[in-house]
């Protein structure tokens, strides 16, 4: 009979904590943590660091000097161990080879096929397997990875910074700076979690951002292994200035920049840009599908009220991240979102607040959008 031991939760929480070390660097792989425990004593731990590198289980096994100790130990893994040869050997096999006798798993891996999954392999081999300890937290680590598998599209976050009165920029287009420096640093973590960042041409023209990930503490902590996201500029009519900062940034850091246009207007080769051909009838949903085809699980939309508003009203946003600065900007300003006409209180869009955090005197609010 399978027993859930109270300490299982304690050890799984540790595995979750170390899994998160990989949140910014493992994409397109999921972030995974593993701790190995015997007689309620920690033997070893590991986490997946980068695509192509050792999985968490292998790193945990390797961290134990005396491999004999592994016999009869319990492995806590935030995600079901893999059972296939990819860039690395199957982890389920390694666990068996070293005599691990009990495996506690946080979340199932939707990518594992049912009959040949890591879990079924372990169970068939007579190992005690417990599934679903700290399941929500374990699933949350890889929310985009799970979502994109289930829905065949990326998980989309939309980030906006606003004054308390819901304004994002002056009529002149000026918006530097609404949110404080700590909030802007926080955004860099959000970018680092994303496989792609989408913006609109107006944001490039008016704000001229790099949308880069240059936060020193973030880069240092993750050993400069942050995989830069794909940058996507929606520019239907081809108005991208060849001297936009984002182009320079992308050239310098050798990232991928998609210029989504109906007709290309600039010398892409010279600027190190990829043209994505866009037809008149194509929309944001089409772009998201292109990204999905490129193995992108997490997309961040960082743009102005028009594109953000379109994404929301087209039902393409999973999470709305709002940074509220302690400021009032008044009425000669641009709104948070441009939405299609809503005439009645019954027709307004309902959100669900899932997280609220103070960042110095700014607030960071995360909402989901409720389906009607």
**Strand pairing partners for 367?**
320, 353
Nearer to its own copies, 24 or 323 (CB): 323
Using rule CB under 8 A, residue 42 touches its own copies: no
CB of 104 to its own copies, least distance (A): 33
Return left, alpha or beta for 188; rule: phi > 0 is left, psi -120 to 50 is alpha, else beta: alpha
Residues 98 and 165: their CA atoms lie apart, in Å, by 60
- Which residues, other chains included, contact 209 with Cβ-Cβ below 8 Å and sequence gap of 6+? 199, 203, 245, 246, 302
Using rule CB under 8 A, residue 338 touches its own copies: yes
Stretch 287-326: interaction string toward its own copies, x if CB under 8 A: -------------------------x-------x-x-x-x
Using rule CB under 8 A, residue 366 touches its own copies: no
For its own copies, the binding residue among 157, 231, 333, 364 (CB under 8 A) is: 333
CB of 156 to its own copies, least distance (A): 16
CB of 324 to its own copies, least distance (A): 8
For its own copies, the binding residue among 52, 86, 315, 340 (CB under 8 A) is: 340
Return left, alpha or beta for 38; rule: phi > 0 is left, psi -120 to 50 is alpha, else beta: beta
Could you give the angle at which helices 284-293 and 305-313 cross, rounded to 10 degrees? 80
Residues 60 and 342: their CA atoms lie apart, in Å, by 54
Using rule CB under 8 A, residue 336 touches its own copies: yes
Tell me how many degrees the CA angle 358-318-119 measures, rounded to the nearest 5: 100
**Region near its own copies per CB under 8 A, out of 36-44, 211-219, 240-248, 354-362:** 354-362
Chain-centroid distance of CA 252 in Å reads 23
Nearer to its own copies, 243 or 344 (CB): 344
Using rule CB under 8 A, residue 157 touches its own copies: no
Nearer to its own copies, 4 or 342 (CB): 342
For its own copies, the binding residue among 138, 175, 250, 318 (CB under 8 A) is: 175
For its own copies, the binding residue among 166, 209, 238, 272 (CB under 8 A) is: 166
Residues 93 and 208: their CA atoms lie apart, in Å, by 50
For its own copies, the binding residue among 167, 193, 259, 364 (CB under 8 A) is: 167
- Which residues, other chains included, contact 281 with Cβ-Cβ below 8 Å and sequence gap of 6+? none
Dihedral in degrees, nearest 10, Cα atoms 211, 217, 219, 221: -150
**Region near its own copies per CB under 8 A, out of 148-156, 247-255, 256-264, 351-359:** 351-359
- The residues annotated as belonging to the active site are 57
Q: Which of 301, 284, 353 is nearest to 324 (CA)?
A: 353
DSSP string, 242-254: TT-HHHHHHHHTT
Using rule CB under 8 A, residue 165 touches its own copies: yes
Residue numbers of the site for its own copies (CB under 8 A)?
Answer: 162-167, 170-172, 174-177, 312, 320, 322, 324, 326-333, 335-345, 348-353, 356, 358, 361, 363, 365, 367
């Amino acid at each position: 009979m399978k027993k859930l031991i109270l300490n299982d939760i304690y050890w799984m929480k540790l595995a979750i904590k170390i899994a998160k070390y990989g949140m910014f660097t493992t994409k397109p792989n999921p972030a995974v943590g593993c701790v190995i425990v015997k007689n309620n004593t920690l033997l070893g731990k590991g986490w997946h660091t980068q695509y192509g590198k050792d999985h968490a289980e292998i790193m945990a096994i390797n961290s134990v000097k005396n491999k004999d100790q592994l016999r009869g130990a319990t492995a806590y893994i935030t995600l079901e161990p893999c059972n296939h040869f990819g860039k690395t050997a199957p982890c389920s096999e390694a666990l068996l080879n070293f005599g691990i006798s009990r495996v506690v798993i946080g979340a199932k891996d939707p990518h594992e096929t049912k009959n040949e999954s890591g879990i079924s392999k372990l169970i068939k081999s007579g190992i005690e397997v417990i599934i679903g300890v700290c399941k929500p937290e374990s699933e949350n680590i890889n929310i985009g990875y799970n979502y994109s598998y289930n829905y065949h599209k990326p998980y989309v976050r939309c980030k906006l910074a606003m004054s308390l009165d819901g304004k994002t920029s002056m009529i002149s287009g000026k918006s530097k700076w609404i949110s404080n420096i700590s909030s802007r640093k926080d955004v860099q973590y959000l970018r680092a979690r994303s496989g792609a960042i989408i913006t609109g041409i107006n944001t490039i023209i008016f704000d001229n951002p790099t949308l880069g990930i240059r936060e020193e503490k973030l880069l240092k902590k993750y050993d400069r292994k942050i995989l830069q996201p794909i940058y996507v500029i929606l520019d239907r009519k081809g108005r991208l200035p060849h001297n936009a900062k984002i182009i320079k940034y992308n050239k310098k850091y050798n990232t991928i920049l998609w210029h989504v246009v109906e007709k290309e207007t600039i010398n892409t080769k010279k600027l190190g840009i990829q043209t994505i051909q866009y037809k008149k009838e194509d929309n944001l949903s089409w772009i998201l599908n292109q990204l999905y085809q490129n193995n992108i699980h997490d997309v961040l939309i960082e743009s102005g009220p028009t594109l953000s508003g379109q994404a929301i009203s087209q039902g393409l946003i999973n999470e709305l991240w709002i940074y509220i600065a302690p400021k009032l900007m008044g009425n000669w300003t641009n709104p948070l979102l441009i939405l299609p006409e809503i005439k009645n209180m019954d027709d307004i869009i309902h959100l669900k607040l899932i997280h609220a955090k103070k960042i110095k005197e700014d607030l960071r609010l995360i909402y989901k959008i409720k389906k009607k």
